[in-house]
Structure 1
Amino acid sequence: MKKILLLCAMVIMSSCASKLVFPVSNVAPAAEITVKIKKDDNGNREINLNSKYLSSPDRLTPPRASYIVWMQTEANGLLNLGQLETDASEKGSFTTVTAYEPLEIFITAEDDIAIKYPTGQEISRVKI
């Protein structure tokens, strides 16, 4: 009976969102960044990224215009997911849905939000 309950608990936990913590950044060491990835009923991945204590990109050296969230996939290569905006209290959030399975998610500081490949400073990276 205990084995059945343990197996059921493992199945339920595996269907829930996985939460990953980004490692401490050399560029923004105070930043605390997490990402939750959840697979929906259609097989898509919902990505929710949250940051605390991440200063505005214009305070970096050199100053940048924005933070960009990137995803490395096996099927479709590198994707610019969009801009991570931070508020005056140094909190940020980013949510998107993708059909691709992420291998890595990382954040860079960039001058252009529509770029196809990262050119700026990498803030942090997490492998899925």
Structure 2
Amino acid sequence: MKTMKNITYILFVALALSACSNKMTFQDSSVVPAASGDVKVKKDKNDNYAITVNVRNLAEPKKLSPAREVYIVWMQSDRDLVKKLGQISVGSGMFNKSLSGELTATETVKPDRVFITAENDAQTLNPSTEMILTIK
């Protein structure tokens, strides 16, 4: 009987934790076809949203045609038009062959949409029209 209560409790906690986190997968990219990734959104105890963006097989921006300098992650919510979350760096090297990167940000509103653009300048305030990866 005690074992059944423990199992029920563990299942309840696991379900509750998974309900707090929302994972979305990026759509295939026509600009960088091998690129993939996901976005995890988790509401914290202060009613903020922790947003984690993971990408894989994302070509270095200088290898795009035309070449760009940086990748920028943006979000859109029902309250805001578009907001820049930050720059995502793509790592490669001896220990990272997958051209992967990660960005973590905290926002007060839940994103309805997250997307990545390639930009000429990291200081840009508006996204370019060519999206690299997007979640709708």
The alignment's TM-score, normalised by the length of structure 1, stands at 0.86
The ranges of structure 1 where at least 4 consecutive aligned residues each deviate by more than 6 angstroms after the TM superposition are none
Give 1:49 shift: 0.7
Alignment length (residue pairs):
121
Tell me which of 70, 73, 79 is aligned to 1:69.
73
SS in 2 for 1:70: strand
RMSD between superposed Cα atoms in Å: 1.7
Aligned residues: percent identity? 36
Question: How many Å separate the matches in 1 of 2:28 and 2:131?
Answer: 12
The amino acid that maps onto 2:39 is: V
Greater Rg over alpha carbons, structure? 2
Aligned residue number for residue 110 of structure 1:
119
Of 44, 48, 64, the residue aligned with 2:48 is: 44
Query: Is the 1:73–1:104 contact (alpha carbons within 8 Å) kept by the matching residues of 2?
Result: yes
Three-state SS of the structure 2 residue aligned to 1:112 is coil
- For 1:14-29, what aligned pairs fall within 5 Å after superposition? 14-15=19-20, 17-29=21-33
Normalized per residue, which structure has more strand?
Answer: 1
> Cα offset for 1:76?
2.1
Contact 1:33 1:51 in 2 (8 A): yes
State the secondary structure of the residue aligned to 2:39: strand
Query: 1:13 corresponds to which residue?
Result: 18
Scaled by the length of structure 2, what TM-score is found? 0.82
Q: What are structure 1's unaligned runs of at least 5 residues?
A: none
Checking the alignment, whether the CA contact within 8 Å between 1:110 and 1:120 is kept in structure 2 is no
